[in-house]
Amino acid sequence: MSNRRFSEMLNQWEEQRQQKQELVTVPVSVAKKDLERLQALADVYDQPLESIMADLMHAALAEAESSIPYVPGSRVIRVEDGEPCYEDEGKMPDYLDARHRAAHPEN
């Protein structure tokens, strides 16, 4: 095994170790039909059910987050390339505040 391959393997192990440290277990209830679908994906792709659920949740959250619409307000908050950027009066500011509170519950 070349030094490069060995180094890549060690880096991959370290990345996996760090990812595992970030995992939290939460109880979740799902519809029986959804559990069947999840189990089918796990079987077809030879992955643990928990990994399939976590990956799907991660992808769904990223999609949901990017789908929160921007609602331009009347107040200009900055100018970029000569164009005014208006404050967002949609749900994104509230979402970002709630996300910050969830990440820092002691504040």
Read off the pLDDT of residues 28-60 as tens digits, 9 standing for 90 and up.
999 999 999 999 999 999 999 999 999 999 999
pTM to 2 decimal places: 0.74
The pLDDT of residue 101 is 96
What whole-number distance in Å separates Cα of residue 18 and Cα of residue 15?
Answer: 5
Residues 6 or more apart whose CB falls under 8 angstroms from that of 88 comprise 70, 71, 72, 73
User: For the purposes of burial, counting CB atoms within 10 Å of the CB of 86, is it exposed (0-12), middle (13-18) or buried (19 or more)?
Assistant: middle
pLDDT band at 1 (very low <50, low <70, confident <90, very high): low
Indicate the domain borders of the chain. 33-67, 71-107
Residue 10 has pLDDT above 80, yes or no: yes
CA 4 to chain centre: 31
Q: Which residue has the higher pLDDT, 39 or 21?
A: 39
The pLDDT of residue 41 is 97
pLDDT in tens, 76-105: 999 999 999 999 999 999 999 999 999 998
